[in-house]
Structure 1
Amino acid sequence: MSEDLPPRPNGAARTRLLSVIGVVGVGAVAGSLLLWHGQVTDALGLGADKTPVVSTVGAPAIGEPPMTTLATPTPSRRTTPTPSTPSTPSTPSRTATTPTGTPTRTPTRKPTKKPAKTSREESIDGLSPTLKKRLTKAIAAAKADGVTIRITSGRRSAAKQQRLLNEAIRKYGSYKAATRWVLPPKYSAHVQGKAVDIGPTAAMTWLNKNGWRYGVCRRYDNEPWHFEALTTPGTKCPPREPHAVAKPD
């Protein structure tokens, strides 16, 4: 009785078988190589637990710590200013510097000049120093006797003196008659501050009687209110004139 032999594999099966055998063979060879490489590595001290070797390109020199580079933050466009300690405000300078560097003085406001004090006609402020001094003493003495001396007209302006003369001319009818009472400005003792008219009647009477003690005298018979410094204090007053007389122009 003949034995049946197994059927021979066809071409496709044979190709797959050879491929499997090849893969197994390559795997065996690769395993042998890996085992050999591990043995060599252990022998040379190059095991996996050692520090791995890295590239030395750009590495620091031996003995120096490696350079550590920190990322620099990019500054934002809006920054909060650091508060500063307030300083004492300085006194502003009086000079300013122009763009060319030439110092220029800051214009300062000039003080406004006060108008000159105008003496009232009813005071002794505008009188000459001599008459003012003597009359001040006489007023004090009269007050001690219970008499008040009031000044009705002291120093006058030339304009007012001319106005008074014009009124006197209309009143008395002529220049000659008017000048017995009011002299032209250029001849008037009032315009010069050397004459004073006083009141009331009691003051006229007291000063006419006692004025010589202080060098103050009545000058005209027709003007009991008109006084001038005509003598030395303590000396008798000169004789009175009947009235004022204007000098011819």
Structure 2
Amino acid sequence: MTNDEPPRRSLSVRARLLSVTGLAVVASLLVWHAQIADFVGLGSAGDKAPVVAASGAAGDDVPAPPVRTATVKPKQPPTKPPRKTPKSERTPTADASTPSGENGRYDEESTEGMSTKLRSRLLKAMAAAKADGVVITITSGRRSAAKQQRLFDDAVRKYGSYRLAARWVLPPEYSEHVKGRAVDIGPAAGMAWLNRNGYRYGICRRYDNEPWHFEATTTPGRKCPPREPYAVAKR
């Protein structure tokens, strides 16, 4: 007997090579077929599924939130400007020429309605007296002509004559109170202080019989003029 290999082993190797070659050919055909299908637009059902766009992208199927529109308020009708008060309806203000303290325009027991000169001097004197511990009060400053007339009429009835009444109360046409240029003060300590020191501020007592009656009859710092015994109505 001989030791030669049987010829079947050669055939087996050939068969394996053919199988491998066949598989490669089949794989190539499959790849080629897929490329052809993609080219002509044929594909699987999964490829044909719609693509869902991301939030906010074009083609998004999610409904957009409603857009808020600004509410337009109706225009209010223009308001009318306040009506100007006619001059005839205005309440007059007090000044040195305003004739009345009784009608509410100023307080007779204050410096309101006095002349600028008397008011400024009296305020300085009152402040100085206060620093000395003395209080000066105003009992009667600016008066209305109507009130002055009533005071004079009362004095005529009291003293019995025009001439005697005028020594204490002058008629309106002669009264410095009606002009805002005279002031009656109190109490007695205030009268005495102003009688001694009033000249420093240009204020002087005018009549001997009226220790409460003062007027701005001198220049501040200069001596007061001699006092008159009483007032006289020039008729």
What range is the shorter-chain TM-score in?
0.5 to 0.7
Residue of structure 1 equivalent to 2:92:
116
For structure 2, which runs of at least 5 residues remain unmatched after alignment? Answer: 1-68, 94-104
Residue of structure 2 equivalent to 1:214:
201
Residue of structure 2 aligned with 1:170, choices 154, 157, 178: 157
The answer to whether the aligner puts 1:88 opposite 2:103 as a matched pair is: no
CA apart distance, 1:212 = 0.3
Residue of structure 2 equivalent to 1:137:
124
CA apart distance, 1:116 = 2.7
Deviations for 1:158-213, whole angstroms, at most 9, x for unmatched residues?
00000000000000000110000111111100000000000000000000000000
For structure 1, which runs of at least 5 residues remain unmatched after alignment? Answer: 1-83, 95-105
Residue of structure 2 equivalent to 1:32:
none
Give 3-state SS (helix, strand or coil) of 2:198's partner.
Answer: helix
Residue of structure 2 equivalent to 1:231:
218
Alignment of 1:1-249 (within 5 A): 86-93=71-78, 109-112=82-85, 114-117=90-93, 118-248=105-235
Query: Which residue type is aligned with residue 124 of structure 2?
Result: K
Residue of structure 2 equivalent to 1:53:
none
Measure, in 1, the Cα distance between the counterparts of 2:76 and 2:120. Answer: 50
Give the aligned CA root-mean-square deviation in angstroms.
1.9
CA apart distance, 1:114 = 4.8
Larger Rg over CA atoms: 1
Give 3-state SS (helix, strand or coil) of 1:193's partner.
Answer: coil
| Length-normalised TM-score, structure 1 | 0.59
Query: Which residue type is aligned with residue 119 of structure 2?
Result: K
Measure, in 1, the Cα distance between the counterparts of 2:180 and 2:82. Answer: 37
Give 3-state SS (helix, strand or coil) of 1:247's partner.
Answer: coil
Query: Which residue type is aligned with residue 242 of structure 1?
Result: P
CA apart distance, 1:85 = 5.2
Measure, in 2, the Cα distance between the counterparts of 1:109 and 1:207. Answer: 50
**Structure 1 89/146 Cα, relative in aligned 2: closer, same or farther at 3 Å?**
farther
Query: Which residue type is aligned with residue 146 of structure 1?
Result: G
Deviations for 1:112-132, whole angstroms, at most 9, x for unmatched residues?
455234111000011000000
Give 3-state SS (helix, strand or coil) of 1:243's partner.
Answer: coil
CA apart distance, 1:111 = 4.0
